[in-house]
Structure 1
């Protein structure tokens, strides 16, 4: 209810009023029916004022009851959308702020998928159930009062249906949550296979390898497995629903039989009997709504607890850190990091220095820990207290993230305008078009952008709009411009030339200091012809730094760097 009030306070009040109005209009139908039946059974003339008033009231309350139902449905849809938007905003705040190691864990991703698929919609269902419970509760009270005034014995007969309904609802809720929890893995895999067969990024490879039939077969197998589970679960739910309906039907039938018996015994008059029958039917309907609402609330309980626990997860601070200038440099001492479940450390007691204005390279074979170390330097992975110093002082993780820019090898190609793709790195400040154009020119893609149909406003990609596209190298330059636009004093570049042709790569690294414009840089690359220009090179293996120095010093030392450099150089010479 707090969520509903926060999402739409006025809409919640209006929905409540409509629920109460609907219940009272149903009571009006009962009272008007009793008046009309009394007039008819007394054989009054058609033009008798009492009969006309009774019929007019009956028509009025019947019309009001029907129209309120339409208004309720429209208001509930609007309220549900606002509640859904609020819950999604809360969910996305968690997904965008939780620390990176937690986000990358299988447990978190499975829980996220379960919450996203099942729990997110529950607040909307619960808001509808709560409002339905309020309206039906008022209706039950009104119908109960009407029946008590006619014949009290009818009330316990109808209310008795609630006992089995609530007990059944508890069992049904547990079964629903267990089904959702046990089916999470299947749902994830089916979603992934759908993505592979329907998204643009995989279309070319799927066709090139003829992988479509194989993927379809896998998807069909998972569909069959899920359908088998769903069939078993649905049949169980159907049994629960039939038992609930049977309990309500039996109670109504007993109430109507009691009315017949009371009329036969001359304990109530025919007008009262007719009104009692209508009230009993309406009360039975209101009780069904109450039981359905209670069932929905009970069924949603485990999902809401799951959602509440997820939203309460501790993540990174949402407060922006303070961007600092770099006067002397960044130092890493004894950095250590292990991935959950790993048997060895990904980074093990590493020491490196990045002096202000210098270019430092990290090299090594795949799995040596380079990218993990880069994420530690950028504040994305946690490091021990005081293991990273900035200008000789310890730095808070939020300030470190604000002061370092990272360009990953698998950078995002945003389906947005060119300008949006670049300024995405610094959305906390107003767009600076001069800085934007300078970043594009610095990486050598400014003229290509100007040639696009709408320049900076050209939408890139064709999935969301009929936009333009760039070559792989142009996308990489655009991503580099994004990193430079942020204007932080230290830039981490993870394979920044992977999509560039040899000429473009040579031009980029030959002029790398102009491109960086005085920034310090940590460069990760497998191409030793590119890293040789770095001021200092650290060679990693098994999570440790095994040697470091300038290119000339490392080649002269004849160690791992010299070996790898020779292997790569020999490949080019032999070809």
Structure 2
């Protein structure tokens, strides 16, 4: 294999460099929406809504058209009713003429109310369908982006905004468009009826909506800027809520008496948010007031014009009554049109932020650009000059690390906290791409392989492994979640990890839920959970097994049994494990000692002790602790 050096990076020749550390992203700012952008936004949102529920969407449009026709019919019905009432005033025998317009008006009013109710129900169902579609997109991105993103607070702020605001916005764009179209249809129908009474009133009503349009655009920009500025505060408030309501946190909150302090922090953060919200609401309220006052002034002018027309005899009494109803209806429809425009514009600001987030997923390697599948086995794994720095960190977590693993070996990583052990394990597992250097399987850089197939060849059990509130079978079978569950294989993995006895003894055996969060669930001890996590690793049956503190929760007897039989259980697999306990690493084929992100020495247990370096120093400190406790020094020196 040919190696080249570019600056501080050592990589295989011809292999593309991975991106450097994720840099803090600038806070999104409200952008002015061009007509082209709005058209693109509306088109994309409509496509999403249509794919989520075409029948529901067509039903909403049909109901909007029905409401529009009913509103126009109500104007005509009111005019006929008033005419009939005036005729009754002159001729009592004409009272029968009132029945038809009354029934027509009542029927149209009922139809409008029923259609409005149905719209609400359809919107609720369609909205959930759209939300599910958007959740799928967001979750696809969240589970696909480079793990490094989760080390950045900017990414978490963006994810929070997407989850709290942008997920509903595509539907709101379509809803705004439906409102706009419905208001236009209704406005046209009412406008035609009003034009029949007096054409002069129609253009005045259209002008009445302009103040709302002008102020609503500024309101939308204020809303988006407020959402961006308050994202960190809302995240902190959510976290403080979790600390006070979380199951895992409950015991420590009580043990340390943290409830008053946490409540105080929660109240202070909420008070800060409410103060900012009050300022924001006052700003929006002023704009709302200006817009509505402007529209009210125009409406008053229209009514004065109507009075003048009545005085001039251009409009009769019945026509005047119908015109007043029409003016009020048409004013609402005009406001609906401009309100729909405002909703589209405001949602567009949030969707621009959503597009940036979704682009993170699109930036992942496309399927057609993926490399070949990773080999099912290897002869050696070689890491050379690995450098890795977490976003925002002043110093690298790994700084020129080189290690070798050969098939069937048991390799140990030791070092003090923060020395880079877990980071190195993540890079070797392909979860992080190094900033410099490379990891190669039999001379082929990991980045040449398809990532999914590569990770299928690696088992990783982290120290903070997930305790799924699922059945015991499911907790183990997630080791290969894409494959059908094999109960015999699950039990074999449990036996290898020493978990079969206590899992089989649960009330429902392997079908017992391992959490009291759900009915019928049972709790496991920390040591039992550790064995379940190990069983998960054995079920995966990968050629490389990476274990981060695999015995941290095990008692001394269980720990001894695990490492005494480790090679037998591994069955020829290669194992890399991290441990702080020197009694567990002395049987490793080779031990790498890390300090401040560098490998300072490596060798067998006895070789490192004889060398008298950092490993011997740490070993002596741990042995001294045993002696101080009145126990025998661990053997093997």
Aligned position for 2:389: 338
Aligned position for 2:264: 217
Whether 1:545 and 2:599 are equivalent positions in the alignment is: yes
Whether 1:287 and 2:334 are equivalent positions in the alignment is: yes
Q: 1:405 aligns with which of 450, 456, 459?
A: 459
Change (3 A) 1:29 1:373: same
Give the distance between the partners of 2:92 and 2:459, measured in 1 at CA.
89
1:233-382 matched pairs, under 5 angstroms: 233-314=280-361, 316-317=364-365, 322=373, 324-382=375-433
Q: 1:60 aligns with which of 95, 98, 107?
A: 107
Change (3 A) 1:271 1:469: same
Give the distance between the partners of 1:240 and 1:46, measured in 2 at CA.
55
Task: Report the CA distance between 1:343 and its aligned residue.
Answer: 2.5
Give the distance between the partners of 2:380 and 2:53, measured in 1 at CA.
51
Task: Report the CA distance between 1:51 and its aligned residue.
Answer: 4.5
Change (3 A) 1:329 1:49: farther
Aligned position for 1:16: 61
Aligned position for 2:221: 174
Q: 1:110 aligns with which of 139, 142, 157?
A: 157
**Equivalent residue of 1:353, what SS?**
strand
1:28-177 matched pairs, under 5 angstroms: 28-43=73-88, 51-177=98-224
| Greater displacement, 547-556 / 467-476 | 547-556
Q: 1:390 aligns with which of 441, 458, 468?
A: 441
Task: Report the CA distance between 1:134 and its aligned residue.
Answer: 1.6
Change (3 A) 1:354 1:397: farther
1:408-557 matched pairs, under 5 angstroms: 408-557=462-611
**Equivalent residue of 1:405, what SS?**
strand
Q: Deviations over 1:229-270 (max 9, x none)?
A: 111111222222233332333333322222222111111222
Task: Report the CA distance between 1:299 and its aligned residue.
Answer: 2.2
Give the distance between the partners of 1:204 and 1:384, measured in 2 at CA.
40
Contact 2:127 2:168 in 1 (8 A): no
Q: Deviations over 1:184-232 (max 9, x none)?
A: 1211111111111110111111111111111111111111111111111
| Greater displacement, 203-212 / 28-37 | 28-37
Give the distance between the partners of 1:560 and 1:88, measured in 2 at CA.
50
Q: Deviations over 1:407-455 (max 9, x none)?
A: 1101111111112211222111111111111111110111101111111
Task: Report the CA distance between 1:140 and its aligned residue.
Answer: 1.2
Task: Report the CA distance between 1:129 and its aligned residue.
Answer: 1.9
Task: Report the CA distance between 1:465 and its aligned residue.
Answer: 3.9
Task: Report the CA distance between 1:114 and its aligned residue.
Answer: 2.1
Contact 1:379 1:397 in 2 (8 A): no
Contact 2:387 2:436 in 1 (8 A): no
Aligned position for 2:5: none
Task: Report the CA distance between 1:64 and its aligned residue.
Answer: 0.9
The size of the alignment, in residue pairs, is 575
Change (3 A) 1:465 1:104: farther
Aligned position for 1:7: 52
Aligned position for 2:626: 572
**Equivalent residue of 2:385, what SS?**
strand
Task: Report the CA distance between 1:547 and its aligned residue.
Answer: 1.1
Contact 2:376 2:457 in 1 (8 A): yes
| Greater displacement, 35-44 / 76-85 | 35-44
Contact 1:333 1:351 in 2 (8 A): yes
Change (3 A) 1:250 1:213: same
Contact 1:46 1:52 in 2 (8 A): no
Give the distance between the partners of 2:265 and 2:110, measured in 1 at CA.
54
Task: Report the CA distance between 1:45 and its aligned residue.
Answer: 6.4
| Greater displacement, 51-60 / 564-573 | 51-60
**Equivalent residue of 2:143, what SS?**
helix
Contact 1:95 1:103 in 2 (8 A): no
Q: Deviations over 1:59-97 (max 9, x none)?
A: 221111111111111111111111111111111111111
Give the distance between the partners of 1:386 and 1:202, measured in 2 at CA.
40
Task: Report the CA distance between 1:384 and its aligned residue.
Answer: 6.3
Give the distance between the partners of 2:472 and 2:157, measured in 1 at CA.
34
Unaligned runs of 5+ in 2: 1-45, 630-637
Contact 2:386 2:437 in 1 (8 A): no
Give the distance between the partners of 1:69 and 1:243, measured in 2 at CA.
29
Give the distance between the partners of 2:538 and 2:374, measured in 1 at CA.
14
Task: Report the CA distance between 1:149 and its aligned residue.
Answer: 2.2
**Equivalent residue of 1:382, what SS?**
coil
TM-score by length of 1: 0.95
Change (3 A) 1:392 1:323: closer
**Equivalent residue of 1:300, what SS?**
helix
Q: Deviations over 1:454-477 (max 9, x none)?
A: 112111212344511100000111
**Equivalent residue of 2:165, what SS?**
helix
Contact 1:97 1:317 in 2 (8 A): no
Give the distance between the partners of 2:401 and 2:379, measured in 1 at CA.
20
Give the distance between the partners of 1:370 and 1:447, measured in 2 at CA.
33
Q: Deviations over 1:360-388 (max 9, x none)?
A: 11111111111111000010110368822
| Greater displacement, 384-393 / 330-339 | 384-393
Task: Report the CA distance between 1:295 and its aligned residue.
Answer: 2.4
Q: Deviations over 1:467-493 (max 9, x none)?
A: 111000001111111122112111110
Give the distance between the partners of 2:169 and 2:619, measured in 1 at CA.
58
Unaligned runs of 5+ in 1: none
**Equivalent residue of 2:137, what SS?**
helix
Task: Report the CA distance between 1:37 and its aligned residue.
Answer: 2.5
